[in-house]
A and B are shown apart, each in its own frame.
Chain A
Amino acid sequence: MTWAHIAPAVTAAFLASIVEFVEALTVILAVGSVRGWRGALTGAGAGLAVLLALVAIFGPALALVPLNLVQLFVGALLLLFGMRWLRKAILRAAGVLALHDEAAAFAKQTEAMQAAGGRATGFDRIGFAAAFQITMLEGVEVVFIVIAVGAGGVGLLLPAAGGAVAALLLVMLLGVIVHKPLSRVPENQLKFLVGVLLSSFGAFWVGEGMGLAWPGDDWSILGLVLGFLGVALLCVQFCGRSARQRLARP
């Protein structure tokens, strides 16, 4: 296992996890501030426990399947996932789609929690369910990325999981310090970068699974990263111009 494998895997897991955990934090903060922290934190904790169990079960289980099959199947899924993120990030950067707004998401969730009615005197099941659901929804993406990135090579699961845990701790720490949605985190730029990394990993592993010979072996991951990045940056320019022309039409 070389740094050419480990560094992009850890970076992809860390950055992707930051994006997802920031989105989950916004909802958990809204739930906690409206319905109380006990239900919100218990729900988030229960969600995290389920997610950790998923990684613990499916991560090592994939090691039992022949590596080229895992690379082909997981690589294809990673490619679909990464290219979906990358396309969306391109369209957001070009101004075709609206950027994700954490402050607006917080206001919307706060309103929904207030509309859900008064708090029960005992354990708040609504707050628990809302926090559990958002932790699962956002966390499932993190679990997929960790397992997919970790399954592509022997010994990659732990570094990828480490990247995700580091992101979780960082977002939790920032949440405790700032105590409001992390709306200044450049989510779209992170998504753009993660989309590039995951698309590159996906393409590399699908190719390996098919039996292709990548020029430069593992170092071609870096070439793929530069290739996808270049294409994506060009797409932002062309999509932005196209969208402006469309808006300018009478």
Chain B
Amino acid sequence: MKALRAILAELVGLFVDDGAYAAAIVVWLLVVSALVQFTTISPNIAATLLFAGLAAILAESALRRARK
């Protein structure tokens, strides 16, 4: 039972370490997805936006942690 709990905790921990960081990634995916679905944004620009947002989230989160 203890081993099972440890495995389950490890499973969740695979994807979520810093909650705010993981949430920001998911929100950004939803934003880009909504842009693609509901606006006439060019698919090329949307792809660039997707990467730029993810890079910004990574940088902000790492810097925030470094300043703590």
Residues of A within 8 A of B (CB): 76-77, 79-81, 83-84, 86-88, 90-91, 94, 96, 129, 132-133, 136-137, 140-141, 144, 199, 203, 206-207, 210-215, 220, 224, 227-228, 231-232, 234-235, 238-240, 242-243, 246
- Asked whether, in the complex, the Cβ of A210 is within 8 Å of the Cβ of B17, the reply is no
Question: Chain B: how many interface residues by the 8 Å CB criterion?
Answer: 38
A80 to B29 CA separation, bound complex (whole angstroms): 11
- Asked whether, in the complex, the Cβ of B25 is within 8 Å of the Cβ of A87, the reply is no
- Asked whether, in the complex, the Cβ of A81 is within 8 Å of the Cβ of B54, the reply is no
Main secondary structure of the interface of A (DSSP, over half): helix
Inside 8 A of B6's CB, which chain A residues have their CB?
A: 133, 137
Given A210-B32, A242-B66, output 16 extra A-B contacts at Cβ < 8 Å.
A79-B25, A80-B15, A80-B22, A84-B14, A84-B21, A87-B17, A87-B58, A87-B65, A140-B14, A212-B32, A212-B43, A213-B43, A215-B44, A231-B59, A235-B63, A239-B63
Instruction: Known contacts A80-B16, A239-B62; decide if A140 and B25 are in contact (CB<8 Å).
Output: no
- Asked whether, in the complex, the Cβ of B66 is within 8 Å of the Cβ of A239, the reply is yes
